[in-house]
Amino acid sequence: MVNPAPHWVAILVYDGVTLLDVAGPAEVFKEANRFGADYRIVLLSPTGVDVTSNLGVRMAVDGAVSSEPAFDTFLVAGSDLYPRACVPGDLADAARIPAVAAGRVVSICTGAFILAAAGLLDGKRATTHWKVAHKLAARCPTCRVEPDAIYVRDGTTYTSAGVTAGIDLALALVEEDHGPDLARDVARALVVYMQRAGGQSQFSAPLQGPPPRSPALRKVTDVVTADPSGDHSLGELAKHLNVSTRHLTRIFRDELSTTPARYVENIRFDMARALLDQGHTATQAAILAGFPSYESMRRVFARNLSISPAAYQRRFSTARRPNAG
């Protein structure tokens, strides 16, 4: 097979960069070369000085950022630093300069915060790690953040979710460049999914948000949380506050932007996930969490996670293998 023209990939690194955000995509591109691609990877830092990763590993760079030459793919790796602090101006500039001429711009995990600081996500759809998606939305109000996406493409701008999602995105880029057959070969060689089912929600913490502001509504939500399997019909919940069902519905909508029924469902969903994590069967989890039936729980899992309770449990119940013999 004749190799195509070289495809230059520049990865922006800096002190504190997450090593896996760099190594994961780079490994995908390197593996693609074994199957006929020709990716050339260079590491760039803002000043051309070597950097130290989040693990303390020293990373030798190939040079400083520049608008020349124009790279086919410009990738910005993430760091735990910048959801917690503002992105320094020199780092934002280091992302902006090569991005102007690049064929496509990519961020891995919290690298989206650097793209946002550089103005590269203005008016675009994007994603990042589910834990800090709300912070990205606050930092870049014109960006439409999609917290459940594994990765998002908006034109020539690509953003991915947390750490290993950078591998998912890199595989998608390889498929875009060379087709599904080569990308599938890479996925098989790396023993990863070509395209994993579901979104980030399957990896995230329980869906419960902050407690309600009003003591009255907090009283109702505490009752539900304390016993998710209890009778929490609209009428029964309204009795706890001695208010009409219409008034209770309005309180939920105003404070939590949801309905009482959906709130109860989410609490039960959280409990069912925890029960599955602990090793209960799906049927047991449905009963203990208060779902009317397994089928009703399955529908909630499908809507929230795009996978079944059984598939969720296979992925997250335990990392230990049973002993042989």
Question: Which residues are part of the catalytic machinery?
Answer: 109
Both tokens assigned to 161? 């979710």
Please report, in angstroms and rounded to a whole number, the separation of the first and last CA atoms in the chain: 47
**Phi, psi angles (nearest 5°) of residue 187:** -60, -45
Query: 8 in helix, strand or coil?
Result: strand
DSSP 208-260: --SPPSSHHHHHHHHHHHH-TTS---HHHHHHHHT--HHHHHHHHHHHHSS-H
Pairing state between β 125-126 and 51-52: unpaired
Chain position carrying tokens 């309180």: 251
Closest CA to 133 of 194, 197, 78: 78
Query: 246 in helix, strand or coil?
Result: helix
Both tokens assigned to 183? 């990308």
Report yes or no: 184 and 194 within 8 Å, Cβ to Cβ.
yes
CA angle 270, 274, 276 (to 5 degrees): 115
Q: Count of CB atoms within 10 A of residue 64's CB?
A: 13
CA distance 189 to 183: 10
CA distance 250 to 217: 11
CA distance 203 to 127: 15
Both tokens assigned to 140? 């870049």
